Structure 1
Amino acid sequence: MIVDKQGSHYIFVFSKKYVHAGLNYIKYKNKPLTNKEYLQHWGKWLVLGRREELEELANRLDPYVEREQIPCIKFDRAVQKEFEEMLLRECVMCIYCDERQREDVWKILAQEGVTSKAWQYEKNTMEAWLPGGRLLERWIKARRLTNSDAEKVREDALLYFAQFEDEDAVFTGVIQ
């Protein structure tokens, strides 16, 4: 099910049962991941392209998401201006899965025409959004925040990611 909410930077692809029943799609072999397992095993395949190309790919991948062969997908509605200085002038699609199923997911992507292979663990993404992390600091710079506002953003990031410190708690997701 493609979820395209106006006002959101991202367009998502979820199984209908996760949208309507509020279930957690972040699992492996039907078992929800703990925070520790999430940081050890959860990641994403990255695909770059124009929004139209990614929309077409999302439509082709939607049946795999419905069958839970792919847990979740998100992609940019538009190029993120904050990251143009990184020469990232294309939209990004993230195809999420547990690393223990990533080769199965890659086979699906390759079958649907994806040729570039780039994997990123969510732990690395989270670290990049912590104070001093490359993504958070570039985001702050691109928004030209005052020193005071930048420090507030950094403090908020620390507080937000502190919720994942209990390694045994079931991972409940990241606000997007």
Structure 2
Amino acid sequence: MRLHIAIPVMFTATIMARSVPNPGEDNTDPLNCTSFGKGCQLKLDVLTGAFRCSCATNPDKLPDLAWFYTETNYGGIEYQGYGNYTTCQNLPFAWDKKTRSMKSNLDPSVICCIFTDVGCNKVGRHWTPVDETVQEFQGWYALGVESYMCNLWVNEESTCDGLKAVTK
């Protein structure tokens, strides 16, 4: 009986993940997830309704991935890292709806997550300010909320230089 229940749930999740969050675009991978390498797929968390990019690739060979999503009030942003940072969490201060960027509790606006190497403490350089030209807009998440995602390299010396410029 459980198998009969699980199949429709899995089928629904696949449909939702492949549906286009922004109806104005015909794109089955609005987060450009597959561009991060083999084994990377766009997935939908059926419990939260948030899309995420999931990579099975060895994190020693590729940059770790960071993904973000916002609540409907543009307030709470969740971070999840892959590879060495799977247990690390850090929350930016706010989500700026007008500029579609994250802000730390220090200005200026930031969208790239860089962790220090000391147990994800709150002291040091966690959020590296970057110019607008390197913001990589990835797509739309649940509820039509625009979100950003960037490469997260493996140490605190990393920068956001790997991001592509956005032309709008």
Interval containing the TM-score (normalised by the shorter chain): under 0.3
Normalising by structure 1, report the TM-score. Answer: 0.27
Greater relative CO, 1 or 2 (CA 8 Å, sep 6+): 1
Going by fraction, where is helix more abundant, 1 or 2? 1
TM-score by length of 2: 0.28
